[in-house]
Structure 1
Amino acid sequence: MTNGHHVRVDNRGSAIEDYWPLLCLVIVTALGALALSAGFGDLTLRGLMHGYMGLFLLIFSLLKLFDLEGFKDGFAMYDLLARRVPFYGYVYPFLELALALAYLAFAVPTATYAATIALFGFGALGVVSALRRGLDIDCPCMGNVLAVPLSTVTLTEDAAMVAMALVLLAMA
């Protein structure tokens, strides 16, 4: 432990098994998005991305809401705003939920894409900072239900959400 933070001392986060819960979530979400898009007769890139992002954010917000207090505490360990404004940790899952519902409903798409870029772009900065500090925690991004290490995979998730929102914004 250094400066009150756990420092990575082993190879935790280096094996695929460490990310199995996340991999399952990604695969199931992709299948759900495909089924949703096919059911609505919208097998376009836009339809698939809306379905995927909506379902992904819906599941992630739900995982956080199972233990909101635990999420808030873990989130404050790496998120730049939650470290300074602890109440933000309570609000964040509801922001994800609102985005999830907006994607699934195709509601105010341009504002939804912009909000996604802002939320996940800013979140990525906190992950980069935590990784540079060597912080070794389970990522609160999956709530306290599933244990996945905070790592470059977390950063990739944030970057992927930003990239998909940018693609959708360009398509709008």
Structure 2
Amino acid sequence: MTHTYQLTGMTCGGCENKVKSNLLILPDVTAVEVSKDTQSATISMDKHIGLATLQQALGGADSKYQITSDSIVEASTATQSWVETYKPILLIFGYVIAISVITSWQDNTIDFMVFMRIFMAGFFLTFSFFKMLNLKAFAESYAMYDIVAKKFNLWGYIYAFIELGLGLSFALNLSPVIVNWVTLVVMTVSILGVLESVINKKKIQCACLGAVFNLPMSTVTIVEDAIMIAMSAAMLVFM
């Protein structure tokens, strides 16, 4: 995976060489390109490396070199088509929709209440699974744009378990009114940070699938959250 970060403090070629050397020492870093002109660093790594680790390699919090995630992007997506970029999400939605249709098919028609419940269960269980694979990396990525996680670092960790709980609750049809209200509130709060990032055209990584896939934040993320909000609201109305 390759990420481009904002990196301030470089003023000359010597600074560039020093920063590059310090970052290359880190395990799992395979290549580094830095530029004092754009105040950026493009880092290729075998697995996700947190900002705290990168900053420590540059001399810690008091160093003149400060690396931030404001401009993090997945470099490879620039040459990918839309379908290639969002293939993981498209496949997940395809599988979840197929399972939801099969499960909700009754008397030669679809029971839409059952369809929405199974869809929500599949959505939350699948997405929480990918977040759990590297919970720390997800929390760090989520804090880049979520309005709650920015102020409360533990929220990223809590959010992953909320998704897991919601997925299990929808699958078991537990307390549907309470579960749908929680979904409505949580997803509405979540979409606010996504909207702010997309409207301001911030080039950051979407944390919806944790740190496993490097997906750029875009209108796809808005649609994804909006579907959850719409379904939870519809289920509350028709209950």
Deviations 1:36-83 (A, max 9, x none): 3349x9940000110111011100000000000000000000000000
Query: In the TM superposition, what are the counterparts of 1:21-100 in structure 2 within 5 Å?
Result: 21-38=88-105, 43-100=110-167
CA distance in 2, matches of 1:14, 1:124: 25
Match of 1:19 in 2: 86
Does residue 146 of structure 1 match 2:213? Answer: yes
Unaligned runs of 5+ in 1: none
Letter of the 2:194 counterpart: V
Letter of the 1:60 counterpart: F
Shift of 1:2: 9.2
Structure 1 residues 72 and 118: alpha-carbon distance in aligned structure 2, compared to 1, 3 A threshold: same
Structure 1 residues 42 and 68: alpha-carbon distance in aligned structure 2, compared to 1, 3 A threshold: farther
Report percent identity of matched pairs.
29
Number of equivalenced pairs: 171
Structure 1 or 2, whichever has the larger Rg, is 2
CA distance in 2, matches of 1:95, 1:46: 22
- Paired residues of 2:104 and 2:112 also in contact (CA < 8 A): no
CA distance in 2, matches of 1:77, 1:93: 16
CA distance in 2, matches of 1:55, 1:112: 15
Aligned alpha-carbon RMSD (Å)? 2.4
Structure 1 residues 84 and 20: alpha-carbon distance in aligned structure 2, compared to 1, 3 A threshold: same
Does residue 6 of structure 1 match 2:6? Answer: no
> Which of 118, 129, 134 matches 2:196?
129
TM-score, structure 1 as length reference: 0.90
Match of 2:48 in 1: none
- Paired residues of 2:86 and 2:215 also in contact (CA < 8 A): yes
Work out which structure has the larger RCO, using CA pairs closer than 8 Å and 6 or more positions apart in sequence. Answer: 1
Greater helix content? 1
CA distance in 2, matches of 1:163, 1:51: 15
Letter of the 1:98 counterpart: G
Letter of the 1:68 counterpart: L
Shift of 1:35: 2.9
Query: In the TM superposition, what are the counterparts of 1:97-112 in structure 2 within 5 Å?
Result: 97-112=164-179
Deviations 1:122-169 (A, max 9, x none): 111010111233221221111111222111110111111000111111
Structure 1 residues 52 and 68: alpha-carbon distance in aligned structure 2, compared to 1, 3 A threshold: same
Greater strand content? 2
Task: Decide which moves more: 85-94 or 144-153.
Answer: 144-153
